[in-house]
Amino acid sequence: MSSIIIWTVAVITVLGLLLALVLYLVAKKFKVEEDPRIDEVEKVMPGANCGGCGFAGCRAFAEAAVKAPNLDNNFCPVGGNDTMAKVAAILGYEVKAKAPMVAVVRCNGTCGARPKVNEYDGYASCAVKSLLYTGDTGCSYGCLGCGDCVSACQFGALSMNPETGLPVVDETKCTACGSCVKACPRHIIEIRPQGPRGMREFVSCINKDKGPVAKKACANACIGCGICAKTCTHDAITVEGNIAYIDPAKCKLCRECEAMCPTGAIHGVNFPKPLDKDAVKERIKIRQQKAKEAAAAKVKEDKKDE
């Protein structure tokens, strides 16, 4: 009896050792030479494998970063500047710091402002809904409210607000990976710079219908009136196709457009003080008055010179 056990153990051990030797030799013979830096880079990556960088995952990003001549086209939005500095240190490249970004929902068609014109009782998916028709409100551009962006977010940064029916971005969790941007069939989510101390101004509407049509569908819609663009002294606002857009690179956060917007489509977030609309309007009025007077005076002077 005991001899059987001894024999079994002996045979298995010898077999194991032999196979290990074979494996060792094969591994030696067919070893794939790989840049050791790929492993190093992968180690400093966030490991979320979200695909926000445009590659299939963190390893794919690491391989691409090692192969690339510089890091201009490779940026990990999740890790941000810290991670990229580490990657650059490993690879000996220089990296330009990018402004931290955040997802911004460009629809403020709340349930109250945007009345329903029909009931949707199909499958609760924005992609399905947008394929079937223009949605259950009069606005054919705005949020469909089924939460495809919420399920696309791997960081738990998005949630639906049941009161407004719109998605809310948790800025502390958002990594600006862009999954929600891809998931939204209406393209209402934009990745924008976070702004200094998180302060930023943006037009929270993408309705390209003409003013009266947009207004009828949603009380909060941008009607493309252009008052904001006229008010802006920094040339940051463009109105194209009945919709205003604030260029984050040019915006100086003076909040004048926000005060002047007749429908409240322009939103300012994370400002320390609430906006005193009347005061700002007064300020703009005085400035415009002065400008008018100055222009009139100049015309007079020109005439005198003649």
Partner 1 sequence: MNKNTFAIGGVHPHDNKISRECAIQPLPLAPTVYISVAQHIGAPSVPCVAVGDKVKVGQVIAQPGGFVSAFIHSSVSGTVKSIGPRADLAGRPATHIEIAVEGDEWAEGIDTSDTLVTTIPDDAKAIIEKIRLGGVVGLGGATFPTHVKLSPPPGSKCERVIINGCECEPYLTSDFRTLLEKGEQVVVGAALLKKAMGDVPCTIAIEENKPEAIAHIREVIAKLGYKGIEVMVMKMMYPQGGEKQLIDAVMHRQVGSGALPISVGAVVQNVATALAVYDAVQKNKPIVDNSVTVTGECFPRQANLLVRVGTPLRYIIDYLGGVPEEAAKVISGGPMMGRAVANLDAATVKGTGALLFLTEKQTRRAPESNCIRCGKCADACPMGLEPFLLNKLARAKDWDAMEQNAAQDCIECGCCLYSCPAHIPLLDNIRIGKGAVMGNIRARAAAAKAAAEAAKAAETAKK
Please provide the DSSP assignment of 214-281 as one string.
Answer: HHHH-TT------HHHHH-SSS-EEEETTEEEE-TTT-----HHHHH-SS--EEEES-SS---HHHHH
Provide CB contacts within 8 A for 290, sequence distance 6+.
none
121 versus 163: smaller Cβ distance to partner 1: 121
- 61-77 core/surface letters (b: 16 or more CB in 10 A; e: else): bbbbbbeeeebeebbbb
CB of 118 to partner 1, least distance (A): 5
Q: Give the contact letters, 101-140, x = binds to partner 1 (CB under 8 A), - = no.
A: ----------------xxx-xxx-x-xx--xxxxxx---x
Provide CB contacts within 8 A for 256, sequence distance 6+.
231, 232, 233, 280, 283, 284
Residue 238 sits in the site that holds partner 1 (CB under 8 A): no
The structure tokens 């329903």 sit at 116
49 versus 81: smaller Cβ distance to partner 1: 49
Give the count of residues interacting with partner 1 (CB under 8 A): 16
116 versus 287: smaller Cβ distance to partner 1: 116
- The residue length of the chain stands at 306
36 versus 212: smaller Cβ distance to partner 1: 212
Tell me the C-alpha distance between 138 and 259, whole Å: 26
16 versus 122: smaller Cβ distance to partner 1: 122
CB of 119 to partner 1, least distance (A): 8
104 versus 183: smaller Cβ distance to partner 1: 183
103 versus 217: smaller Cβ distance to partner 1: 217
CB of 51 to partner 1, least distance (A): 11
Check if the beta carbon of residue 132 is closer than 8 Å to that of residue 146: no
CB of 218 to partner 1, least distance (A): 14
CB of 49 to partner 1, least distance (A): 15
CB of 134 to partner 1, least distance (A): 4
- How far is CA 125 from each of CA 20, 141, 150, 152, 188, rounded to the nearest angstrom? 53, 16, 11, 12, 15
Restricted to residues 163-192, the positions that interact with partner 1 (CB under 8 A) are none
Restricted to residues 140-159, the positions that interact with partner 1 (CB under 8 A) are 140
- How far is CA 197 from each of CA 100, 129, 261, 269, rounded to the nearest angstrom? 11, 37, 24, 10
CB of 208 to partner 1, least distance (A): 11
Check if the beta carbon of residue 161 is closer than 8 Å to that of residue 229: no
Q: How far apart are the first and last CA of the chain?
A: 126
Find the DSSP H helices in the chain. Answer: 2-29, 36-44, 58-67, 80-91, 126-132, 148-152, 179-183, 211-217, 227-231, 256-260, 277-305
Restricted to residues 63-102, the positions that interact with partner 1 (CB under 8 A) are none
51 versus 193: smaller Cβ distance to partner 1: 51
CB of 188 to partner 1, least distance (A): 17
Q: Which residues bind partner 1 (CB under 8 A)?
A: 117-119, 121-123, 125, 127-128, 131-136, 140
